[in-house]
Structure 1
Amino acid sequence: MIVRERKDSFILVEQDCHGRLAEQIMSHWKEELFPGEEDRSSVLTAVRLHDVGWSPFDKEPFWNDSKQAPYRFTDFPLPSKIVLYRQGIDAVETVDAYSAMLCSEHYSHFVSGGDGGQSDDFLEYERKRRARLKSAFADFDETVFRQHYGILQLGDNFSLYCCVNESGAAKDQEHPFFVNGIPAPESLPGLPDHRLAIQFLDNRTIAVESFPFDAPFEVSYPYKEVRKEDIRKLGFQKAYDQADQHHTELRFVPQT
């Protein structure tokens, strides 16, 4: 779950909704910046489904007693995350093998390993999965695969920027992840070194440096606002279930 805390409420965005927002955004990526265009559909499928494993968890989100707040994707216990990571990649593999390779690569970067236990088991399992899937592609290109993974990373980060920040946030009010911009993967040519500057111009408009999209575009994503008073009265799960769904609409434009 992606969580923004306000004085009297929590804004909650399901991870799978964030993934679908990422696909909306990256579907506008410039063709000349999209290597291996013949794999575009598979790459966008990976972008859309990269967090699908969170879906059952986000339907019944968990309350963090120690912080008196919903668990965020950043502080959710690692053993549980490893379970949903694997379930998510399994689900993607039933849809598209290349997409599953990308998602496997993505999640393997979130697990450090070295514990001699569940983390290492996960990393080894995913290494073998990627090797198995790779063997089915006679013309597999490792360089292009790395570039496609960079597109997945960018989609994840652009979408997170939309979801973790309040719309219209000033730079000094942004989430620390993005105060210095969006990380630009080294594997992708044609982008500024290291970071893409990004900022809100107003409550609906996001400006991006060296605009890497084909034209200005609009996106939207759903969220729930759960009042803290309702959580105290009803409990977190019931308050979440009864909260109304809303939508945030945003427009991406070039930075001038």
Structure 2
Amino acid sequence: MIIYEKEDSYICIAQHDHARISGDLLSAWADELFGSEDRREELNLAAYEHDSSWIELDRIPLWNDAASAPFSFRDFPGNIRFVFYSKAIDRLQETSEYAALLGSILYTTLAERFRNEDTISFVEGEFARQSVILEKLQLNVNLLQEHAKALLLCDELSLFACMEPPGTPREHYEWFANGFPYWFDRTGGTSLIAEWKDERTIALEPYPFSRIVETRLFYKEVGKAEAAKLGISQVYQKAELREQVITIVPK
């Protein structure tokens, strides 16, 4: 679950809802940046489903006693989350081996950034999965790399939309203050910059999409005082699911 704090409440965003935003973004990706239409549907499937492992984990938030706050995706126990990651990729592989491969590459890329004792067996197992699929499908590796990079970028752009209050100045983001690594700009640029124009609009430069993207952010707001009194699980389940439209435009 993606969680950020307000003065009197927690904003809670289910990971699968965050993935829906990344899928909406990737579905709008400009065709010429790929150079091919091959496996486009499977690429979109990978984006929409890449966080399906969190559906059960996010059914209710768990309380982190050490932090005196709910667990978020940043600090959720690794020995639990990585088991669910692998199971979700297993299920996706039954539908599309290519989408499962992309999901596996995304997860291992992120796990390698924060490598610790919880990630080792997961990463090794996923590397083995990737080798088997690569050998079986006889893929265009260059195209696969482009797809994996696009998936990672759309995942991170969705995090930009979700992990801080809408309208937050870019310099206040822990991870994205200096922009996003960008591999597709034919002018030689290496970074993509995202900025909130207002609380409902994000502007990007350069702009990798073929059209303006309208997407929806679903979230629940949980009052801190009520959660302390009744428990966060009960309060979260009763909270209204809210929706905010977000539009992504060229700068």
Q: Do these two structures clear the TM 0.5 threshold for a shared fold by scoring above it?
A: yes
- 2:161 is the counterpart of 1:162: yes
Which of 173, 176, 181 is 1:175 aligned to?
Answer: 173
- 1:77 aligns with 77
Unaligned runs of 5+ in 1: none
How far does residue 181 in structure 1 lie from its aligned partner after superposition? 1.6
Distance across 2 between alignment mates of 1:26 and 1:45: 10
Which of 216, 226, 230 is 1:220 aligned to?
Answer: 216
Asked if structure 2 preserves the Cα contact closer than 8 Å seen for 1:192 and 1:210, the reply is no
Residue deviations 1:77-122 (CA, integer Å, cap 9, x gap): 221121121112112112211000011111112334987x653322
Question: CA RMSD of the aligned region, Å?
Answer: 1.8
Task: For 1:178, give the aligned amino acid.
Answer: F
Distance across 2 between alignment mates of 1:152 and 1:106: 8
Distance across 2 between alignment mates of 1:114 and 1:42: 28
Residue deviations 1:156-205 (CA, integer Å, cap 9, x gap): 01110100121122234x32111112222x4x453753311110111111
Asked if structure 1 preserves the Cα contact closer than 8 Å seen for 2:227 and 2:235, the reply is yes
Task: For 1:106, give the aligned amino acid.
Answer: L
Asked if structure 1 preserves the Cα contact closer than 8 Å seen for 2:185 and 2:206, the reply is no
- 1:62 aligns with 62
Structure 2 vs 1, CA of residues 127 and 170 (structure 1 numbering), >3 Å: closer, same or farther? closer
Q: What SS does the aligned partner of 2:28 have?
A: coil
How far does residue 254 in structure 1 lie from its aligned partner after superposition? 1.1
Task: For 1:151, give the aligned amino acid.
Answer: A
> What percent of counterpart residues are identical?
31
Which of 227, 232, 249 is 1:231 aligned to?
Answer: 227
Task: For 2:154, give the aligned amino acid.
Answer: G
Aligned 1:32-47 pairs, distance under 5 A: 32-47=32-47
Task: For 1:248, give the aligned amino acid.
Answer: Q
Distance across 2 between alignment mates of 1:96 and 1:190: 31
Asked if structure 1 preserves the Cα contact closer than 8 Å seen for 2:24 and 2:213, the reply is no
Q: What SS does the aligned partner of 1:47 have?
A: helix
How far does residue 252 in structure 1 lie from its aligned partner after superposition? 1.1
- 1:205 aligns with 201
Unaligned runs of 5+ in 2: none
Aligned 1:90-109 pairs, distance under 5 A: 90-109=90-109
Q: What SS does the aligned partner of 1:110 have?
A: helix
Residue deviations 1:212-247 (CA, integer Å, cap 9, x gap): 111222111210000011101210100110111101
Task: For 1:135, give the aligned amino acid.
Answer: E
Task: For 1:228, give the aligned amino acid.
Answer: K
Stretch deviating more after TM superposition (38-47 or 212-221): 212-221
Distance across 2 between alignment mates of 1:254 and 1:114: 35
Q: What SS does the aligned partner of 1:219 have?
A: strand
Asked if structure 2 preserves the Cα contact closer than 8 Å seen for 1:18 and 1:160, the reply is yes
Q: What SS does the aligned partner of 2:18 have?
A: helix
How far does residue 64 in structure 1 lie from its aligned partner after superposition? 0.6
- 2:24 aligns with 24
Asked if structure 2 preserves the Cα contact closer than 8 Å seen for 1:33 and 1:190, the reply is no
- 2:146 is the counterpart of 1:147: yes
Residue deviations 1:42-92 (CA, integer Å, cap 9, x gap): 111111111110110000221111111111111112211211211121121
Aligned 1:237-256 pairs, distance under 5 A: 237-255=233-251
Structure 2 vs 1, CA of residues 119 and 182 (structure 1 numbering), >3 Å: closer, same or farther? closer
How far does residue 142 in structure 1 lie from its aligned partner after superposition? 1.1
Aligned length: 250
Asked if structure 1 preserves the Cα contact closer than 8 Å seen for 2:34 and 2:143, the reply is no
